[in-house]
Chain A
Amino acid sequence: MHLPEGGMAGIAMHELSLCENILQVLEQQAESQQYHKVKTVWLEIGALACVEIDALRFSFDAVVQGSIAEQAKLEIIEIPGQAWCTACRRNVAVQQLYDLCPHCGSYHLQVNSGDQMRIKELEVE
């Protein structure tokens, strides 16, 4: 990937911090898990996690340059949003945090899945 002069210049988004965190985990795990190269990284990203996937991919490619994860493939497992409707007393699917209950129209929803961002597993060498 071509980056402007100064490396990260011009990128200001929290996906960059997330990728720096991911790389730190990969480097820490390299010691304990005895690997020297990361080929694929699987992430679980919830639909409600405030993560822009394109920005995450862009940041990841930038952050891993020159590291053990250089040219690693990023696989994103998207986790759908789910919330508990306190009116219906059941779980409902939500796409956005401002969604109303699709059954009763209530906004009294408690998100219980789809807000996570986790490193799930790696393919390493």
Chain B
Amino acid sequence: MCGVCGCGEGHSHSHDHEHDHEHPHDHDHHHEHVAEHAHAPGLSQFRMVQIEQDILAKNNRYAGENRRYFGERGILALNLVSSPGSGKTTLLTETIAQLKDDLDIAVIEGDQQTARDAERIRATGVAAVQINTGKGCHLDAHRVGHAVESLELKQHSLLFIENVGNLVCPSSFDLGEAHKVVILSVTEGEDKPIKYPDMFHAADLMILNKTDLLPYLDFDSEQCIQYAKQVNPRIKILSLSAKTGEGMDSWLRWLKAELDLQRIDYA
């Protein structure tokens, strides 16, 4: 049973977590609003309760568990975010084709409906699990935790979590990933980073995809990169075409280097 939520689903990696639920102290300063319920005097004692809790505290607890699970096993988990149609799944299938002989890879696919993307990934020969969010516009750490469990990830493997195509909502939800990677295709317009600043602010790496189409577009790459750095001075940016393979080498080297970092045993 899931250790945190008690949802009844299997969740093996959640048994060793700390129950660090903070129960805020009750500072009752009784404000009696008698006028509101004058018909029942004495029975309508409203009082104030201090909560002081992050709205996302629960998600963040699950994310912390996921992160610890990945950390203990040297797994590099990446949360891939973008608008629909940026080429995330093609980038993934191309990346997997190049790396699967050397690395253990698994994929969690998030979409509102259908298992089409997970099927595309499985066709490459790696394990993939589909999460359908229904009306939900983003993945959350709890569902990812259960998906991770069903994947039985190998030590030192690479886990791609392909979030729902949406440049707004997924930015607030930590899944326990090492990095958010935002993918932007050059067909989208160079001002996306300032139109959707939260996502670019939350990401550590931006991939400018479909660069093979640049000759046919008025896309200003320099301006786009400038906007992204304006929103997030720390963001690193790679330009590539998953279709032609141009620029893929840097992305593959980044992945291997980041995976290597996960293998370091810190004191």
A residues apposed to B, CB below 8 Å:
8-14, 17-18, 21-22, 24-25, 29, 32-33, 35, 39, 43, 48-50, 96-98, 100, 107-109, 111, 116-125
Contacts and interface: CB of A to CB of B under 8 A. Distances in A.
25 contacts: A14-B169, A14-B173, A17-B173, A18-B56, A21-B55, A21-B58, A21-B59, A22-B55, A25-B51, A35-B47, A39-B46, A48-B198, A50-B168, A98-B193, A98-B227, A109-B233, A117-B55, A117-B56, A118-B52, A118-B54, A119-B51, A120-B50, A120-B52, A124-B46, A124-B48
Contact of A98 (B50, B51, B197): B197
B140 interface: yes
A123 B231 contact: no
B102 interface: no
B172 interface: yes
Given A96-B197, A122-B51, A8 B56 contact: no
B172 A50 contact: yes
Given A21-B58, A33-B26, A124 B49 contact: yes
Interface string B143-172: 000000000000000000000000011111
Interface of B: 23, 26, 31, 44-59, 112, 135-138, 140, 168-173, 193-194, 197-198, 200-201, 227, 229-233
Given A24-B58, A125-B46, 6 more contacts: A14-B138, A100-B230, A119-B51, A120-B51, A121-B49, A123-B46
A21 B201 CA distance: 23
A38 to B, nearest CB: 9
A13 B173 CA distance: 13
A100 to B, nearest CB: 7
Chain B binding surface SS class: mixed
Contacts of B231: 97-98
